[in-house]
Structure 1
Amino acid sequence: MVAVERVESLANSGIISIPKEYIRPKEELESINDVFLEEKKEDGPQVPTIDLQDIESEDQIIREKCIEELKKAALDWGVMHLINHGIPVELMERVKKTGEEFFGLDVEEKEKYANDQATGKIQGYGSKLANNASGQLEWEDYFFHLVYPEDKRDLSLWPKTPTDYIEATSEYAKCLRLLATKVFKALSIGLGLEPDRLEKEVGGLEELLLQMKINYYPKCPQPELALGVEAHTDVSALTFILHNMVPGLQLFYGGKWITAKCVPDSIVMHIGDTLEILSNGKYKSILHRGLVNKEKVRISWAVFCEPPKEKIVLKPLPEMVSVESPAKFPPRTFAQHLAHKLFRKEQEELVSEKKEQEELVTEKKEQEVLVTEKKDQVCV
């Protein structure tokens, strides 16, 4: 297994400037600002907060009002803060505490759980490998593993320290699975479908997978040059996120980057590509990224609800397609969608690199012309 330098080790080494592999392209740098100042902004659009307390109310009018608010946020933003979601705050705090304690261990101890992406062992402790020609890296380490269904988990890969990690994470995954069902039901009703339709379409209780990724973003000496996670949309059906109340999540909305506020006791929920495809683009899978800072470590706990990779063909539901609204997405399995996104990203990077090379050649030619003109002037 190839040794990978962890971002945490780099951050703790005392460097005052980051390696070039972590510096974002110049067109991105213009939009990277101080995250603490960004979070304080009150002007402009704000990520919606949805109160789920009445999502299963016996009162039809109250229940429908809650579903309508959830639907509106999914249609407009594709991301929201969920409050009164039914998951005990004490349990969320336990999950955060055990994750923080794991990342508080020495790097050597965490390396016992290292993954090996080259051999397909994706679960475990890792850092992003350079998977593109430019060698671009993100300012984060992570721990990734499947948390539900229980019969598909591999507990031998889960941290043994801290001792409460397995119990707290298992309990949290069960609670999230129940929450996912409530949300799928509401979003199905929002599209005029049978309540259980969307959940069935993504694998149901037996096949839907919950994958947890704990993202660890160390302090960064030059946060204006780096990103914790580059701009992307989630491939999942739904993504649920906890964080340690340090801002960093940004959403691309209305043509600009909006920083999400930190809402106490909330869970951030994203609509992923899978639901965007099934709804034929009605529900939005929003482009988002993560900023870093030089003052505080940021940690987030993302749980991706994913359909089985090969079993289900994802395509717009027949009810979502019409003459006025033809199918926007071709039929693909989840695995094919992943491969398509990776291929498209590689193509975009090749185009971007080619453009940069052409710009450098043009710049060089312009400099040569200037030098020649100066020589001519001297001769005159």
Structure 2
Amino acid sequence: MEIGIFGLPLSGKSTLFTLLTGVEPHSSHKNEAHTAVARVHDRRVDELSKIFSPKKTVYATVSFTDIPGYDLSANQKEKNRILQFIQNSEAVLAVVRAFKDPSVPWPTEAYTPVKQLETIETELFVRDMEVVENRLVRLEEAKKKRKLSSEEERETELLHIIEKGFEDNSFASQLELSEEDKKLLGSLSLFTAKPIIVAINIDEEQLSSGNYAEREVLIQKIEQNGFAHIELSGKIEAELVELSEEDRELFMEDLGISESGIERLSGVVYQHMGLISFFTVGEDEVRAWTIKKNTPAKEAAGKIHTDLERSFIRAEVIPYEEFMTIGSLQEAKAKGLVKVVGKEEIVKDGDIFHVRANA
């Protein structure tokens, strides 16, 4: 899974990328995109690792791409180049600045958080409008020469629905499309069809007060568009990284938070994208695996290894919370708490999962 980090210059976008991945983009390549892998923070993996003391602990991961700042004063060719970096992203993490700092200029023509979000929305709309219009023209030209296939007829219908939505400032992601419809539109890679998470970059005072300029209006706009959001402070997150575990806990206690923003971000991304984690455990390895919600057991087994999906017989499953009340698989089995399930059983978030398969 790859998430593109997109925003206007000086919004704190690259700081967030570094905090997520531990990678500092090279200053001499600031106009290029940088991709790196981030570990998905999951305290359940930590607790399972304490119990099993495995040789290896493997967390789920997400790839983030730090897209160059979208400069409104740039020429159209440069703007198009930057937008192209969103093409291969499965989701967009849009960074909006709310923090106050006289030494950091506000983005050109976007001096408020709401204006920044509106600017990002507009740029995504404009790009997709052009893509939709061009595709409709091509379909219309094809229709003059031959009868359109049923797939092309359906695509035309969907594109007109999306076009109408654009007139009402409605993102394509708000349409409840079937998987088949999504495949039909997949080649267009519509930016407004991608899941969008808005990261609002605030300062310490704003974090403590729980308020900043235009907060209510900003949150309302985010929710109206079907986006997810998270409020965090890049400056505070950077300070937390530098502290020892003990000092970090004390600092977080003073701030009135139990988790850092970076840790919370994983949960927001997963929830908005309809993702969950299941776990495999043992003395050799404790590992988190990422799947879509409502994935059946046989398909989940294929996430571990394609051979396991092909030769799947049954799976042994126990929910994480239930397992933690006992702390032993052997005991859990003895008490009948480990359920044996078939291939159609839906895997749930936090399930500890063991596959029975043909040799």
TM value normalised by structure 2: 0.26
